Structure 1
């Protein structure tokens, strides 16, 4: 509930997905909620790539909700001067000309300032004199040095200056997102060791391949400020660094690498632990589908997407569930309803439910239409009919939902009248039920045999839905 999360002692960070924005919108508009401060951080030059965020910000203005815009720009010339002075431990009057050069080159962009300083040190234009016990710099060379005005290009250049092994490790990290656990990275390092042993056995050469060296390479990247280590996780220090590292992978090799990563993680995950890495594995394989042509392999990925979709649904992350289930459907081969009926039925039925949860009713109708057309039995259509009723009710088409519900009950053998019975008949039925219950103790009711008739159990579920819709539509 909102009251459970909107407390002075709680801080939460969430992303920009559509459902999260809907939640935030509801919380912001609720005047009864205290201790709720919403801070949105975004790059103003990228906001138009996120239509849902644009719509959200416009909605806040329409609702007259008090907002404060804070433009976090570049740091001032004075701030750059203080930064340089503190960094090289010299008074500002001695570093002024040097800091002016850096400000002119970087425009006060904090990331550019730190990277420009680092590049000066790398090229020995900024050095520490052991003789004089002070930092010294070459102003002329520093002023003549070019600086790249694109963060991505700047980061890519810095990554290329690392060792080949370190570059490879960072590229692997970039494929897996903003962070990756050490245990996952070890899989690729151990794979490299096995490959080296294979070459050693065939070529009779002695290669020293130490996994500790591989992690020392990552530690070097940590020292360079490209990545950070928190516990057992390696995390990119900035999303632009991850983006730059990913772009260093040739475009025609990215899909193959994602496929390889997904298969390797899945291969080394015990059956009872696959759920722990389910999203990671499925994401990787989905990004490598262009390199997956064997039908058996594509079916395996479709099954993984079904599992991931089910898990996402259980976590109420419906938009994510939709993406997995759609990916699973796309992996099905031609003629899949005939050859892989159960998998097709599960994917389409759950896909309709997930789309219903996010209000994409047009897609719900399409998916349900496919199920009703392809399902082999009426029982296999029941799940789709239940979703269709919920979809219609959500669109305030209660009478249509009720009509479908009555139709389903009739097919299940339950006699229903479309119009309400006479009030006296209803009272008679209620009194008869009361008489039966008064003659039965609680203990006897608890000892009743559980219902086993599948049709009756299904009918009860539809009756439960219908009672609610009938009440709303009265």
Structure 2
């Protein structure tokens, strides 16, 4: 484990889950199987590999929940997870709360406060990202999350729930390469304009520039000035 405390902790948990390391209640001692430990650890890729191996032993819903969590970011609000969960995890509100509690008990997530969660370590976040087999899978998940959040905000779409609005636009942007419908790309460009203006109004100039540049990239470059003059100008 190279003297890394996190790596050591994950290794011990992994070996216990694999029953290579067990506590004997009858003798009040730890027992271990050296041959089994050598087999289990010879293929690991460091701390991330161990966490990935642990996650493989979780229930399908726990793994799906982790996949959604990593799309939301290293630190994220609980409410969006509750909103998109039924469509992506096939679990209702109370079940999602139980999944969150389970992942906290496993030591993968931790509470920041009453409304926010975060991954317990950057290596755990990295391991959760590996649950997506490729970038296309991650982008599809981002796009679906963005669409679900957009649908949830409905006709009342505004910046009143600032964090949710920015998250929605960010998720859609991360999946924008998969959007083929030109009308939806134009609508997303408008959302980026709104997000960029709002970010600039609170002096968040770097995010504002990112939103605005993304909005420009969504427009059809050959005809946008003829078809969307006002939008292009803004």
Scaled by the length of structure 2, the TM-score of the pair is 0.87
Task: Indicate conservation of the 8 Å contact 2:143/2:176, yes or no.
Answer: yes
Cα drift, residue 265 of structure 1: 0.4
Deviations 1:35-71 (A, max 9, x none): xxxxxxxxxxxxxxxxxxxxxxxxxxxxxxxxxxxxx
The equivalent of 2:137 in structure 1 is 253
Residue 153 and residue 138 in structure 1: after superposition, are their counterparts in 2 closer, same or farther (change >3 A)? closer
> Among 159, 165, 182, which residue is 1:278 paired with?
165
Q: Secondary structure at the match of 1:268?
A: helix
> Among 222, 226, 234, which residue is 1:338 paired with?
226
Cα drift, residue 161 of structure 1: 1.6
**Structure 2: distance between partners of 1:232 and 1:141:** 45
Deviations 1:302-344 (A, max 9, x none): 0111111111211222222111111000111131111111110
The equivalent of 2:195 in structure 1 is 308
Cα drift, residue 222 of structure 1: 0.9
1:240 paired with 2:91, answer no
The equivalent of 1:179 in structure 2 is 75
The equivalent of 2:182 in structure 1 is 295
**Residues 207-226 of structure 1 mapped to structure 2, 5 A cutoff:** 211-226=93-108
Cα drift, residue 247 of structure 1: 2.4
The equivalent of 1:170 in structure 2 is 66
Cα drift, residue 162 of structure 1: 1.0
**Structure 1: distance between partners of 2:102 and 2:200:** 40
Residue 273 and residue 329 in structure 1: after superposition, are their counterparts in 2 closer, same or farther (change >3 A)? closer
Cα drift, residue 281 of structure 1: 1.0
Task: Indicate conservation of the 8 Å contact 2:82/2:96, yes or no.
Answer: no
Task: Indicate conservation of the 8 Å contact 1:279/1:308, yes or no.
Answer: yes
Deviations 1:401-437 (A, max 9, x none): xxxxxxxxxxxxxxxxxxxxxxxxxxxxxxxxxxxxx
1:137 paired with 2:31, answer yes
Task: Please tell me the root mean square deviation across aligned C-alpha atoms, in Å.
Answer: 2.2
Deviations 1:17-39 (A, max 9, x none): xxxxxxxxxxxxxxxxxxxxxxx
Q: Secondary structure at the match of 2:41?
A: coil
The equivalent of 2:19 in structure 1 is 124
**Structure 1: distance between partners of 2:30 and 2:123:** 31
Q: Secondary structure at the match of 1:274?
A: coil
**Structure 2: distance between partners of 1:217 and 1:245:** 15
**Structure 1: distance between partners of 2:127 and 2:4:** 18
Cα drift, residue 211 of structure 1: 3.9
Cα drift, residue 272 of structure 1: 4.3
Q: Which blocks of at least 5 consecutive residues in structure 1 are unaligned?
A: 1-105, 197-208, 347-474
Task: Indicate conservation of the 8 Å contact 2:20/2:37, yes or no.
Answer: no
**Residues 25-36 of structure 1 mapped to structure 2, 5 A cutoff:** none
**Structure 1: distance between partners of 2:188 and 2:82:** 24
Q: How many residues align?
A: 226
Scaled by the length of structure 1, the TM-score of the pair is 0.45
The equivalent of 1:262 in structure 2 is 146
Q: Secondary structure at the match of 1:240?
A: helix
Cα drift, residue 142 of structure 1: 6.6
Q: Secondary structure at the match of 1:316?
A: coil
**Structure 1: distance between partners of 2:215 and 2:185:** 9
**Structure 1: distance between partners of 2:115 and 2:198:** 25
Deviations 1:165-217 (A, max 9, x none): 00000000101111232221122233369xx7xxxxxxxxxxxx654233322
